[in-house]
Amino acid sequence: MGYEYIQTVGNYKYIYFIEGYRENGKVKQKRTSIGKLNTAGQKIYKPEYLEKLQAKGQSLEIYPTEKLFSIEDIKKSTVRSYGLFQFLSRIAKSIGLIDALQAGSPDYWQELFMLSCYMVSSREPVMYCADWLENNESFPVGSMIS
């Protein structure tokens, strides 16, 4: 038999399941992370813990309200830089560059803008722009290879 314990780490609160046992006559505890508390104080359980309870035939009264990602999802995910695109697009809008590109080249204005963002932010040759676009947020311009 075990119990849930909420531990505060920095600004976050995590939920642990603690089980007590004896080993060589000494009392020990096994702690397993089973979820966290969101900013509203609601318990958000890990999908693995809920599956384990379901396999045992048990259930919880509180079900997850947020999507939690599995380790496989995290390994397959990518992180893209967003700040540079946000910064340069806001400047371009405020000085009228976006409007000028849309008027001058309505079919390819996004590609021209993203190419100019790449040239401003990188000292690499233009042929590496496609690689840069994979790692940075951008307008939906496709791959822009050659």
Tell me whether residue 24 is in a domain.
yes
- The number of folded domains in the chain is 2
Does 64 have pLDDT greater than 80? no
Of 99, 100, 102, 138, nearest in space to 117 by CA: 138
Least confident span in 5-9, 25-29, 67-71, 102-106 = 67-71
Mark whether 11 and 60 lie in a shared domain. Answer: yes
Write out the residue range of the structural domain in which residue 99 sits: 83-135
Amino acid at 127: M
Mark whether 71 and 89 lie in a shared domain. Answer: no
Query: Which whole-number Å values give the CA distances from 23 to 16, 48, 84, in the listed order?
Result: 21, 27, 55
Q: Which residue has the higher pLDDT, 92 or 80?
A: 92
Largest Cα–Cα separation, the chain: 82
Least confident span in 34-38, 67-71, 101-105 = 67-71
